[in-house]
Chains A and B, each alone.
Chain A
Amino acid sequence: MDLETGDYQLLAGSVVLGLLVLFYGGTFVMSLFIGKKKENADGYMTAGNKIGFGVSAASMTATWIWASSMYASATSGYTYGISGPIHYGLWGALMILFIYPFGRRIRAVAPKAHTLAEVMYARHGRSSQLMLAGSNILGSVISLTSNFIAGGALIALLSPFSFRQGIIAVAAGILLYTLWSGFRASVLTDFAQVVAMLGAVVIIIPVVFFAAGGPGLFETGASNLSAQQSNFFSSDAFMNQGAPYIAAVLAYAIGNQTIAQRLFAVREDLIKPTFITATIGYGATIIGFGMLGVIALYAGITPIDGDTNNLIPQMAVTYLGPVLLCVFFIMILGSLSSTADSDLAALSSIAMADIYGQSVGKKNANPKTMLLVGRITMILATAAGLFFATGQMNILDLLVFVGALWGALVFPVIASFYWKKVTNMAFTVSTLAALALFLPVRFEWISMSGATGYIVDIISIVGVGVVLGLMSFGFFGLKIARIIGIAAVVIVAPFAFGTLHEYAVLSGSLVAYSVSTVVCYLMSVRSKQDFDFSTIKDRVGDFDPVETVTSDVDPVVTSK
């Protein structure tokens, strides 16, 4: 099978064209219902900070589910066996859950913010903002590119159209319905997309399971699994898939502007139910899709071209009829579009609030100019995504780098919302120091034999304590977090010392957490800074004029 030439045609060109028109035409019509001739800059970024539970939960779920996560979960199921999907999907879901207590604090400190980087500017200054905004931009462009590639590959696989035609169709479709109303269009269309996605999951997984042989498959195909793959408590699956993901839980949530944007958009009292629902929705969907990889393993299916990213489409074309294949097509289109439109909205918000808004100052920012900046950013981001997608650039190494940057930012960002002593210098130096040590460990630039390996082990073991301590801190506070963090170090040390450096992905992430935490703590603990958190909400707020409504008077536009 050649994805680029599309010689594996299964749906007629007219059918695929019809589905594309139906999907993107439908979402465009939806966006017209909420479109305003004069859009509001704050609405374009966060929908006025008051969207309800139904819209926000749908949007959070749809945004977090992307085509790559479906493919990766199936790959995990195929590679590591029955526990594989859990080690991908569960920890990915917990990224949403574990960020919500911090989200409530962030929202309390900056109720009208648009981006996390904007808040960091108010808390610390330019360098902290630049690091966070820079990592957000890189992450969103990578995600956008990845979704375009997934769309192009899907269209090339299932139709006579080429990969290049596919990515252009997907990019144009997404830009069409997102450009005018921005985040508002993104969250509203997310609802339709999540209905299509989750509805398809409910049907497709049981259909594929029974078509592949049903329960009998577990008997006839058991010999296809190794001992590790048959074991629900597989150490291979945990060390290679689960543990690095646990370490990444907080990093991806902190570093992702699409999550922060929804955090600032949802009504403040609905943050908790929104995040819990999205956790369950994402987890069940992605673990469910991982089961297709497990079924493929039991059925003895070999991925075409040896590429496990082909597994899900391969299972679909093998076991689904034409109608369900169309449903599958819409589901994948929904998953990649909902994430890509969120990336566009995230990038436009960063350009509007962090680049334009903060450079001219809140009081001097012109909302009309901001909207123009946001829309131009969306067009440029789409062009950049298309450029990287057509160039077939290897974005995975870049993703590793961004992930590490996010890992290095976790402690400084979280501490900056709770601890008055954290300084801009501590934030910046700790993040850069963590990155400097992460790179040689993750990419194995230095030999891990002898003392170096042991030093990396010690730093990584501290990182285990930091990760678990931070996770506990959000829910249980500082005292419990300290106990759990120290207990984790004591319990893990005897097993991890001497071996942890052999797992480069895991130890690299842990080193990033550990170094940034230790350096940030040491540089802040003696600082004389006594930051007043109540000042942030005065510095970060609405850019548009405020509409004041009184009981017997029409809305009056006043200037803030």
Chain B
Amino acid sequence: MDIFWLTVYVLIWPVVVGGTLFVIVRAFYREWRQARAEGRGMV
């Protein structure tokens, strides 16, 4: 592997983690709003 691809290989993981975090936080926020609107707890 050359230097460019090794760099991509190291740095791609924080990007994927960031994307996953976004998906989780967005879903949590939506569920929190919905639960609040319905007057019930989330768990």
Binding site for B on A (CB under 8 A): 34, 43, 47, 51-55, 57-58, 61, 82, 184, 187-188, 191, 194-195, 198-199, 201-203, 205-206, 209, 214-216, 218-219, 232, 277, 280-281, 284-285, 287-288, 291, 294-295
Contact of A280 with B20 in the complex, beta carbons under 8 Å: yes
**Contact A205 to B11, CB < 8 A, known contacts A52-B31, A198-B20:** yes
Residues of B within 8 A of A284 (CB): 13-14, 16-17, 20
Contacting residues, chain A, for B37 (C-beta < 8 A)? none
A214 partner residues in chain B, CB cutoff 8 A: 7
| Given known A-B contacts A218-B3, A294-B10, A295-B10, A280 and B16 have beta carbons under 8 A apart | yes
Please give the distance in Å from A119's CB to the nearest CB on chain B: 23
Contact A82 B6 (CB under 8 A): yes
A34 with B17: in contact, given A52-B27, A191-B28 (CB under 8 Å)? no
Q: What's the nearest-Cβ distance from chain B to residue A84, in Å? A: 12
Given contacts A51-B43, A218-B3, contact A288 B14 (CB under 8 A): yes
Asked whether A187 and B30 contact (CB < 8 A) given A82-B9, A202-B17, the answer is no
A55 touches B10 (CB 8 A): no
B23: nearest chain-A partner, CB-CB: A277
Instruction: Please give 17 more A-B residue pairs, beta carbons under 8 A apart, in addition to A57-B23, A195-B24, A284-B16.
Output: A54-B26, A54-B27, A54-B28, A54-B32, A55-B42, A55-B43, A58-B28, A82-B1, A82-B6, A184-B43, A198-B24, A205-B10, A205-B13, A206-B11, A281-B17, A285-B13, A291-B10
Are A53 and B20 also in contact (CB < 8 A) when A82-B6, A284-B13 are? no
Count of A-B residue pairs with CB < 8 Å: 105
Identify the 4 closest CB pairs spanning chains A and B, nearest first. Answer: A288-B13, A54-B27, A54-B28, A284-B16
Chain B residue contacts of A215, Cβ below 8 A: 3-4, 6-7
Contacts of B26 in A (CB 8 A): 54
A52-B16 Cα distance, complex, nearest whole Å: 22
A51-B32 Cα distance, complex, nearest whole Å: 11
Q: Could you say which of B11, B17, B27 contacts A209, with CB atoms under 8 Å apart?
A: B11
In the complex, chain B residues whose CB is within 8 Å of the CB of A203? 14
Which residue among B18, B20, B29 has the maximum number of chain A CB atoms within 10 Å of its CB? B20
- A287 vs B10: C-alpha distance in the bound complex, in angstroms? 9
- Contact partners of B42 in chain A: CB under 8 A: 34, 51-52, 55, 188
In whole angstroms, how far apart are the Cα atoms of A284 and B11 in the complex?
10
Q: Does the CB pair B21–A202 fall under 8 Å?
A: yes
Q: Are A57 and B27 in contact (CB under 8 A)?
A: yes
A202 near B14: Cβ-Cβ < 8 Å? yes
Does more than half of chain B's interface fall in helix, strand or loop, or is it mixed? helix
Any A CB within 8 A of the CB of B41:
yes
Q: How far is the CB of A58 from chain B (nearest CB, A)?
A: 5
Q: Tell me if B31 and A199 are in contact (CB < 8 A).
A: no
Report whether B10 and A34 are in contact in the complex, using a CB–CB cutoff of 8 Å: no
Q: How far is the CA of A47 from the CA of B24 in the complex (A)?
A: 19
Are A291 and B13 in touch, CB under 8 angstroms?
yes
Q: Which residues of the partner chain B approach A277 to less than 8 Å between Cβ atoms? A: 20, 23-24
**How many angstroms between the C-alpha atoms of A214 and B3 in the bound complex?**
10
Name 9 A/B residue pairs within 8 A (Cβ), A-sorted.
A53-B27, A54-B25, A55-B42, A188-B42, A188-B43, A195-B21, A202-B17, A205-B10, A280-B20
In the complex, residue of chain A having the shortest beta-carbon distance to the beta carbon of B16: A284
Question: For the complex, what is the distance from the CA of A58 to the CA of B20, rounded to whole Å?
Answer: 10
Choose one: B9, B11, B18, B20; the contact of A61 (CB below 8 Å): B20
By a CB distance below 8 angstroms, the chain B residues around A205 are 10-11, 13-14
For the complex formed, measure the closest distance between the CB of A45 and the CB atoms of chain B, giving whole angstroms.
12
Contacts of B30 in A (CB 8 A): 54
A residues near B10, Cβ cutoff 8 Å: 205, 209, 291, 294-295
State whether A232 touches B1 (Cβ < 8 A).
yes
Inter-subunit contact B24/A219 (CB<8 Å): no
| A184 cross-chain contacts in B, Cβ below 8 A | 43
Contacts of B25 in A (CB 8 A): 54, 195
- CB <8 Å contact, A198 and B17: yes
Residue of B with least CB distance to A280: B20
CB of B37, distance to nearest CB on chain A (Å):
14
Chain B residues near A280 (CB, 8 Å)?
A: 16, 20
| B14:A218 contact, CB within 8 angstroms | no
The closest CB in chain A to the CB of B11 belongs to A206
Which chain A residues border B27 with CB–CB below 8 Å?
52-54, 57
Interface contact A199-B16, CB-CB below 8 Å = no
Across-interface contacts of A58 in B (CB, < 8 A): 24, 28
Residues of B within 8 A of A291 (CB): 9-10, 13
- For residue B30, give the distance in angstroms from its CB to the closest CB of chain A: 7
A198-B15 Cα distance, complex, nearest whole Å: 10
| Bound CA–CA A205/B17 (angstroms) | 11
How far, in whole Å, are A43 and B28 apart by their CA atoms in the complex?
19
Taking CB as reference atom, which chain A residue is nearest B9? Answer: A82
Task: List residues of chain B with CB within 8 A of the CB of A218.
Answer: 3, 6-7
Q: How far is the CA of A69 from the CA of B35 in the complex (A)?
A: 34
A199 to B26: give the CA distance in the assembly, Å: 14
Chain A residues with CB under 8 Å of B16's CB are: 280, 284, 288
Chain B residue with the shortest CB-CB distance to A184: B43
Residues of A within 8 A of B13 (CB): 201, 205, 284-285, 287-288, 291
Tell me how far the C-beta of B5 lies from the nearest C-beta in chain A, rounded to whole angstroms.
10
CB distance from B1 to the nearest CB of A (A): 6
Which chain B residues lie closer than 8 Å to A206 at the CB level? 11, 14
Residues of A near B23 (CB, < 8 A) are 57, 277
